[in-house]
Amino acid sequence: MSIVAVTLVVAALGASTFAWFTLSNRAEIGSFDAEVTAGEGIEVSIDGTNWYSTLPSSVINAFLESQNDGETPILEAVTTTNAVAFTKVSIQDVTGDSVGTLVPTAAPASSYISFTLFFRSQNATELYWQNATIGSEVKSWTPDTTFLMADGTSVNPSAPVNVRAANAVRVAVVGTVTKAFQVASGSVEGVVNSASNSIVLNGAIAYHNAKNPDNVYPELSSVSILEAATSFPESTVVGTPNGFDILDLNGTATDNGIDYNTGNLVVKVWIEGWDADTFNAILKEAINVTLSFEGKVKKIRIKIKEKNENEKIIIINYSCNHYGCGFRNKHIRLVHIIK
């Protein structure tokens, strides 16, 4: 199993009022500590050259800063439908009436976290995204107006509510396929995360509308976001890991005389601007993210070739299911004489 552990702190750079809108200014990552631990026959690298069983946070931090002119990366509220192209959205008073107009612009790469992880293994041929967690402290927040939380609960300035920065965060892994993750509903009062690509109109949007009656959101039924799972599937097949089959290790490389199966994927971490829990109150809160990966070995395959009418060549391609085993893509060639 490989475990990616990420710690980041969201800190406001200036005054913000509402947003996507809640985070209409920028939020700075005060620190980004990531450690990747690779075990059971899997090695990991952030540059494809230096390989680790444990990728230290100092290496990841140095890489991220090198991509941002030596500075700590900056997070802004963004959105995406594919974890590849990210967009910033503002709501502007264009028509002069109380309904605002959405104005999307391309989000710069510096507005979200993105880094590539390279994997190699002597035995595994598939990589599964087995689990993920997104955590942060629960924070008490007293609203300054009356509105509906995501679950429809009415809140007002007379009573505080609990919010968490983790509820607004998305993590995506872009490999052979793309999968995204968000925390499940019920972890904090008023949170509704349905693993849907639709937008929840209560919560942050309702808060914005209550604070900006002269510039409320327009109709949003046509707007969608990247669907994010709130749990990972359990395997029903013996020998297959839990989670998402995220990456084929179908590349090949030889290092110091050892053959490897290789592949790489991209990890994205961002604050979802359309999330119902993207409130001002989550600014300056620490966020912890962990990602777990596990490899799967190739199944035994038998291929029969007919040499002539009396002989058939049977080729068996197999790998041992134990990662420490030396068998990798071994071939047995049998000639079966038909009598």
> Which band of pLDDT confidence, cut at 50, 70 and 90, is reported for residue 16?
very low
Q: What are phi and psi of 95, to 5 degrees?
A: -90, -15
- The pLDDT value given to residue 254: 96
User: How far is the C-alpha of 85 from the C-alpha of 106, rounded, in Å?
Assistant: 8
User: How far is the C-alpha of 215 from the C-alpha of 95, rounded, in Å?
Assistant: 10
Using one digit for the tens of pLDDT, what is the confidence trace for 18-50? 344 333 334 444 445 555 555 567 888 999 999
Q: Mean pLDDT across the stretch 262-282? A: 90
**Least confident window among 18-22, 83-87, 194-198, 314-318:** 18-22
Using one digit for the tens of pLDDT, what is the confidence trace for 121-131? 998 999 999 88
- The pLDDT value given to residue 36: 58
- Contact status, residue 189 vs residue 149, Cβ threshold 8 Å: yes
Q: Indicate the average pLDDT of the chain.
A: 77
Query: What is the percentage of the chain residues whose pLDDT exceeds 90?
Result: 35
Query: What is the percentage of the chain residues whose pLDDT exceeds 70?
Result: 71
Q: Mean pLDDT across the stretch 295-318? A: 57
Q: Mean pLDDT across the stretch 216-223? A: 90
Count other C-beta atoms under 10 Å from residue 173's C-beta. 24
pTM for the full predicted model: 0.80
Q: Is the pLDDT of residue 288 over 60?
A: yes
User: How far is the C-alpha of 307 from the C-alpha of 310, rounded, in Å?
Assistant: 8
Q: Mean pLDDT across the stretch 68-81? A: 79
Which two tokens mark 67?
Answer: 């991509």
Strands (E), 26-149: 27-38, 42-45, 54-55, 74-75, 77-80, 86-92, 101-106, 113-121, 124-135, 139-141, 147-148
Strands (E), 165-250: 169-174, 178-181, 244-248
Q: Mean pLDDT across the stretch 234-262? A: 92
Q: Mean pLDDT across the stretch 87-115? A: 88
**Least confident window among 188-202, 258-272, 319-333:** 319-333
With vertex at residue 330, the alpha carbon angle to CA 328 and CA 334, rounded to the nearest 5 degrees, is 165
- The pLDDT value given to residue 53: 75
| Alpha helix positions (H), the chain | 57-66, 204-211
- The pLDDT value given to residue 41: 75
- The pLDDT value given to residue 175: 97
Q: Which amino acid is at 163?
A: V
Q: Which of 220, 217, 225 is nearest to 195 (CA)?
A: 225
Query: Exposure pattern of 236-257 as b/e (b: 16+ CB <10 Å)?
Result: eeeeebebbbbbebeeeeeeee
- The pLDDT value given to residue 38: 54
- The pLDDT value given to residue 173: 96
In this structure, what DSSP letter does residue 211 have? H
- Contact status, residue 193 vs residue 183, Cβ threshold 8 Å: yes
Question: So where are the chain's domains?
Answer: 2-297, 299-339
3-state secondary structure of 268: strand
> Which band of pLDDT confidence, cut at 50, 70 and 90, is reported for residue 66?
confident
Count other C-beta atoms under 10 Å from residue 221's C-beta. 8
User: How far is the C-alpha of 222 from the C-alpha of 51, rounded, in Å?
Assistant: 45
Using one digit for the tens of pLDDT, what is the confidence trace for 139-173? 899 999 999 998 888 999 999 998 888 888 899 99
Q: What are phi and psi of 209, to 5 degrees?
A: -65, -35
Residues 6+ apart with CB under 8 A from 178: 82, 83, 84, 172
Query: Between 98 and 317, whose confidence is greater?
Result: 98
Q: Is the pLDDT of residue 203 over 60?
A: yes
Please report which helix (H) or strand (E) contains residue 206, including its range: helix 204-211
With vertex at residue 42, the alpha carbon angle to CA 286 and CA 263, rounded to the nearest 5 degrees, is 90
Q: Mean pLDDT across the stretch 191-210? A: 82
Q: Which amino acid is at 87?
A: T
- The pLDDT value given to residue 59: 79
- The pLDDT value given to residue 330: 39
Query: Between 15 and 243, whose confidence is greater?
Result: 243
| Alpha helix positions (H), 25-147 | 57-66
